[in-house]
A and B are shown apart, each in its own frame.
Chain A
Amino acid sequence: MSSMNITKAILMIPTWILILAIVALGVVQSGKPVNLIDPAGFLFVLVFGIALVMISFPGAEIRRALRDAFASPGNETEIKRSACFWEAAGRSFWIAGVLRSILNFVMFFMSLRTQPIAAPQVIHKGLAQYLLVTLYGILLAVICFIPCWKLAGKLLSRPSAPAAEQTSMARGRPFWRLGAVVGYVLIVSLWVWSWPLHSIELLIAIKPAVFVVLGGSIAMTLFMRGSGPTLSTSFAAMGLISSLLGIIQMLFGMTEGMEGIPQVAGALAFFLASCLTALLGMALVGAPVEDRAIRTGRIPSPSAFSRAAWYVFPLLALVTLIPLVFQLIQPLITGR
């Protein structure tokens, strides 16, 4: 690195500190900063995201991507792989954030079986806090997307290399690497640690949605055989179909007044479980399979459908869930 670059890097440090200070000041001035703190949620998103990255990428590629984010990257293939890694990391944090938010809603409902209904103010505050983890997920995702966009920009500014150069390092490696196993174990441990009492109960509770989403995804993948890795798209499509089924069932239940409440409740539970299953399927199976296909050179980059599944489906699920839940508990809140 030249002395000019070193000086530039040194000058950038106070600039970054200043930017961070302004952001922190903005957060403090925006209201009660203590409301924006959820250590357990942040830890979940962070560990879940890291575990997903570990499932998709071996240690050597993670190290290289970290190096490429800060130092000058190597050849075109390495830049591509590093950009792919950072996109996958951003995607993992985004999905982890939304997943935790939906899980928070599910666990809130599950807790009502054993605990009395809290005061509406407490419920309201709790629901707001459930969405906080999505904010953490987005923040971490943006942090990861910065090197991805930077590397993509560098790639565009370089002349394209001949195709023969783009050999794959990962070809022939088994899917079940130690890192992947550790990633899955980490996710299961995190889940059990977060909700020791409700984990098994939850799995039993969501089984109809699990069957529909899983069965439908397998069927769709079989239909789309030969068109590359389509598991993420299948999970998102089935999640969308099941969620819509739940919403329709819920609306029909609402027309029946008090008598339709069990139907409404069952439909909301189905909607929640469908979103949860689809997100888990995408995060734990679909995305790693597609990442591996990219690393082995079977496909050059994720398909537009997969990207839509990773980024649009979680957003849709969250945007739909909030009004549905508030619609149900609104009489409780506005009554006071």
Chain B
Amino acid sequence: MKDSMEQDQRITKELGRYRLASPSPGLHERVLLAAREAWTNSESGLHWTNRWMQACGKFRQEILALASAFMLILGVVMQLGGSQSVLADSVERLTVMAAVSGSLHRATSMDCTVTKPGAADERVQYRLRWNAAGVTRVEMTSAGGTGQTLWISNGTVSAVDDERGTVRSTSITNIPTKWKALMEYLTPAAIAQHMERFGLRQADGQGSAQPGELVLVGQENQQVVEIAVNARTALPIALKKFLSAPVGTGKELAGFEEVRFQWNKAIPQELFIPGLSAIK
């Protein structure tokens, strides 16, 4: 109806352009009818794409308004829906790393236990205690119960000679190989620096997390790294490294290394003085 009225208006306008005298009402109706028929015939002769374009042209504004509303809703839903883009994922990695790193650098003391695989399936446990003065005490306990203690400070390693009861000091570069694997946990700054290589991000499923904890995942070489951090302080609580087992073996991940942390708790200062090993 609206279309035929528009057609009539346009035909009348076209006739008006020739400044014809007003015909009788009957003649006007006949001319209008003939023009409308001619118009319809010309439109039906058009290709369907052209007819489609013409139809779209008539509703251009309506189509644009609909498209804009659709795009607006889609954009807002996508943003608020929680689906994370590649860009957001990358920003998250950096933000997580910055938060954890910042907390580690603010720590005043650290007490952590590292469990690593030793020779012939035995597990070796190390206990590292660090204070803000920059001294780290490392105790090693192997499965057989034998132990050894080192004190590391300012690039110097000190150990107590059990036979003579004296303290021997040497450069950290001469540290035995079995201790070298612990270098990444010596100080919170070293841990932070090492973590930067993991590319940490929040794990998709937080199923294994305790209340108040967040699980972060990353990768180091062929190992999967999982870190549980305190959601409030951003300090690590536990760090686990897994070796990726070949797909199809049933057990996809094999436990490799585990570290448990305790932060900012008072540690007796005597522990950091080489030789005073009676105090534990």
Contacts and interface: CB of A to CB of B under 8 A. Distances in A.
Contacts of B140: none
B133 to A, nearest CB: 18
Given A211-B75, A222-B61, A259 B231 contact: yes
A335 B234 CA distance: 14
A255 to B, nearest CB: 12
B54 to A, nearest CB: 20
Given A211-B72, A215-B69, A222-B64, A331 B99 contact: yes
Contacts of B102: 330-332, 334-335
A112 B99 contact: no
Interface stretch (A17-25, A183-191, A261-269): A261-269
Interface in B74-123: 74-76, 78-79, 82, 84-99, 101-106
B264 interface: no
A59 interface: no
A213 B69 CA distance: 11
B196 A208 contact: no
Contact of B231 (A208, A211, A257): A257
B72 A201 contact: no
A110 B74 CA distance: 23
Interface in A231-250: 245
Given A112-B94, A261-B96, A330-B98, A266 B84 contact: yes
A265 B94 CA distance: 9
B150 to A, nearest CB: 26
A209 interface: yes
Interface in A320-336: 328-332, 334-336
A335 B101 contact: yes
Given A201-B86, A208-B78, A265-B89, A257 B71 contact: no
Interface SS, B side: helix
A257 B93 CA distance: 15
Contacts of B106: 335
Interface of B: 61, 64-65, 67-76, 78-79, 82, 84-99, 101-106, 189, 192, 196-197, 199, 202, 214, 229-232, 234
Given A258-B232, A262-B84, 17 more contacts: A110-B90, A205-B88, A208-B76, A208-B78, A211-B71, A211-B74, A218-B67, A219-B69, A219-B72, A222-B64, A264-B91, A265-B84, A265-B89, A266-B91, A269-B87, A269-B88, A335-B102
Which 4 A/B pairs are nearest by Cβ-Cβ distance?
Answer: A331-B102, A215-B71, A211-B75, A335-B105
17 contacts: A106-B87, A116-B197, A117-B93, A117-B196, A212-B79, A215-B72, A215-B74, A218-B64, A222-B68, A258-B229, A258-B232, A262-B88, A265-B92, A328-B91, A330-B102, A331-B103, A332-B97
